[in-house]
């Protein structure tokens, strides 16, 4: 049975394994081979006071991740999703859509009014989010500066 549960630091190893597997694959091919950096990144996401992390489970197996923060923005309480993903072999079967709809219901009960997230225009996820009712903030721009 497919269910959704809140995740905590106790599931750190399971979360790291699933995250590593998904994002080492297409389309991202991210290099998470440094275990300390991976551990710290997941800890950044799930170990903070305002962390809000949800997992999609097939019975007891973790198959989906939604990792981020609750932010008390003036216009409403936001769920800022940093990482959203479905296990590689189970993608494109409707699970991401199901997971998002479960998240929306759960978040609404917690008085969260909206979700904010970022992705890349060329990623399949861009179409996935649009299909699921997300719209672009047209004037928004993300800036980045390397200093090392």
Q: Which residues bind ligand COA (CB under 6 A)?
A: 22, 84-86, 91-97, 119, 123-125, 127-128, 131
As measured in angstroms, the least distance from the Cβ of 62 to ligand COA is 13
| Comparison of 74 and 144: residue with beta carbon closer to ligand COA | 144
As measured in angstroms, the least distance from the Cβ of 106 to ligand COA is 17
CA 39/CA 15 separation, integer angstroms: 10
As measured in angstroms, the least distance from the Cβ of 33 to ligand COA is 18
Residue at shortest CB range from ligand COA? 96
9-18 LR contacts (CB < 8 Å, sep 24+): 9/43, 9/46, 9/47, 11/55, 11/62, 12/39, 12/42, 12/43, 12/46, 14/62, 15/42, 15/46, 15/53, 15/55, 15/62, 15/65, 15/67, 16/42, 18/62, 18/63, 18/65, 18/85, 18/87
| Comparison of 52 and 84: residue with beta carbon closer to ligand COA | 84
As measured in angstroms, the least distance from the Cβ of 145 to ligand COA is 22
Using the structure block, give the residue that is written with the tokens 């962390």: 51
| Comparison of 19 and 74: residue with beta carbon closer to ligand COA | 19
């Amino acid at each position: 049975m497919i269910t959704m549960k809140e995740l905590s630091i106790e599931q750190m190893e399971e979360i790291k394994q699933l995250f590593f597997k998904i994002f080492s694959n297409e389309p991202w091919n991210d290099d998470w081979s440094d275990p300390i950096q991976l551990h710290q990144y997941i800890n950044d996401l799930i170990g903070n006071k305002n962390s809000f992390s949800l997992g999609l489970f097939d019975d007891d197996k973790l198959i989906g991740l939604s990792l981020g923060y609750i932010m008390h923005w003036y216009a409403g309480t936001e769920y800022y999703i940093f990482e959203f993903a479905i296990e590689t072999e189970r993608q494109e079967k409707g699970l991401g859509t199901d997971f998002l709809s479960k998240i929306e219901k759960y978040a609404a009960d917690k008085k969260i009014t909206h979700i904010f997230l970022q992705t890349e225009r060329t990623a399949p996820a861009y179409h996935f989010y649009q299909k699921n009712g997300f719209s672009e903030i047209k004037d928004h721009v993300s800036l980045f500066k390397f200093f090392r």
